Chains A and B, each alone.
Chain A
């Protein structure tokens, strides 16, 4: 029989290796899945995990996908560490795109270096306001932030849809539910000519660096860590749970909102109902894959972006449904969570069965 035995010291080595192990097992499980679906398994894995790394255009596309994932996941990691579960980043992302995009549309055809920063500000503030609802309801009325933030995601997506069907609709757009295409001054500068990789990525890197500093060296990061493990100890230390809840939700809401604005002002270039494609949910996996550590999240964001791009090529080349990506992502998180047990527990083989029988 197999028994778990608590380690009295978390194994940092295993903590480091388990995401890598989880990716490995996911690849193996994916191979089996493709074989069951009757697709050439090795070919499929190669298309998903290797081919996107082959040319600069694909790599740039990975950067495009990784940008929102990293931004959102870094923001979420603050709350997750503290035990504050903002599951509605998708909604904050949508509202960020909506509020930032509305600024762009309001300033249509107005040039100026200040347009884009103003949009970014509006996007971040929009995301923060949307996250302020669960923050307020949790701190004031004790309402569960998981459910509130999630319900608000549905509301946000419907709101975006309502507005682009109505007031924000392109007046010259033949009645399609889309906004105008943003003018140049309201579009993000491109990093590499001929690709879609935009300066949002630089922001993501900066966010990673600052978050790392705050989480590992600043007293606020310390407060988060304590609160996540024990509310009583946090109170004993003199930390205010409500303040931490607010700040964590503001950080994650703001970064998700910013990511949404980047998406609207970058690769999409306008507001459309289909703007939210699930980055807010995938970012949850990215945050765990990166061990809630900003540097890990940077890597995790790239791995996850790879499965998106690879999944897209697989759709075209092997006629696979887009859902394959979701299955992969779910499996990855499952394996990761399962393997994590090794960091905190030792597995021991015991033989009580045979002993029971012999006596």
Chain B
């Protein structure tokens, strides 16, 4: 039983960075932009969150800086793709390469240091309930924030006028423009939000999960977040589910290694990536459904000729 609780808690901790990054990217893609730079934004969030937390001594300031760093990187992407109309795929790749390089440069002096990890919230009575208390009521605030974020984004997209406008921009930017909506402004806002989320996701890795800084510590999580968005068919609730699925694979794989099963560690480490591919194939094979769900203007440049 204790092991099971440990595994469940592990899954939630492993999934949380993915939840942040995937929910952010989901909003961006709903607005019709494909930002492949999630990995770059996450790693920038990880390094700045860690460094600022260490310097300032405040985890809150650290996390806010991580969000700012991710948002700034996304804004750079936005300026290039939305104002200068560069290719979104190439620019996203550039952002990832740049982010990995810059984070290594900035984080040079911080390797080996550690910060105080974010403390779990302890709610009297609730957290003390046997089993349930451990599974539901004993996490750090960011995990609860990730749930709140998912709920808010789902509500925003489905129920608010602003969310409707954002979806409209992703569906048909020419029509949205004809109706007088500022396509570029809306997309830039979505991008900055997505970048901030990715930044927080990265900071969760370096401040809470590990908590220390190493180069390349995101090791593909940004890309997995992108796959989760496809998996979710652009619905926030399913993105949460997707993130937990991948978190599950990662944690179970670690525990299997820990149990001393006679499989090489590297082979087990491949699992999350292979699962990602399999899930991607299963979701994509139904082309009709994919066509109906994907935002119609995803990855198309918008240029107002009038």
Contacts and interface: CB of A to CB of B under 8 A. Distances in A.
Partners in one complex: yes
Interface of A: 4, 6, 85, 87, 133, 137, 141-144, 146-148, 150-152, 154-155, 158-159, 161-162, 165-166, 281-282, 284-285, 288, 321-331, 333-334, 337-338, 340-341, 344-345
A87 B94 CA distance: 12
B250 to A, nearest CB: 12
A56 B234 CA distance: 55
7 contacts: A137-B280, A141-B285, A142-B287, A148-B280, A162-B267, A321-B105, A326-B101
Nearest to A147: B227
Contacts of A324: 101, 105
Query: Nearest 8 pairs between A and B by C-beta?
Result: A326-B101, A330-B98, A323-B104, A162-B266, A337-B86, A333-B94, A327-B101, A341-B84
B215 interface: yes
Contact of B276 (A133, A151, A159, A345): A151
B104 A322 contact: yes
A323 B101 contact: yes
Contact of A321 (B95, B104, B285): B104
Contacts of B105: 321, 323-324, 326-327
Nearest to B87: A337
Contact of B264 (A165, A323, A334, A340): A165
A255 B76 CA distance: 33
A180 to B, nearest CB: 20
B227 A329 contact: no
B36 A146 contact: yes
Interface residues of B, number: 49
Nearest to A322: B104
A142 B267 contact: no
B281 to A, nearest CB: 5
Contact of B303 (A6, A323, A338): A6
Contacts of B276: 147, 151
Considering residues B79, B267, B287, which has the most beta carbons from chain A within 10 angstroms of its beta carbon? B267
B181 interface: no
A331 B91 CA distance: 11
B41 to A, nearest CB: 13
Contacts of A162: 264, 266-267
Given A4-B303, A147-B227, A165-B264, A142 B284 contact: yes
Given A154-B270, A165-B264, 12 more contacts: A146-B36, A152-B277, A154-B219, A159-B270, A321-B104, A324-B105, A329-B98, A333-B97, A334-B76, A334-B91, A338-B84, A340-B86
Contacts of B303: 4, 6
A162 B105 CA distance: 29
B36 A158 contact: no
Contact of A330 (B79, B86, B97): B97
Nearest to B108: A321
A341 B105 CA distance: 29
A143 B98 contact: no
A69 to B, nearest CB: 14
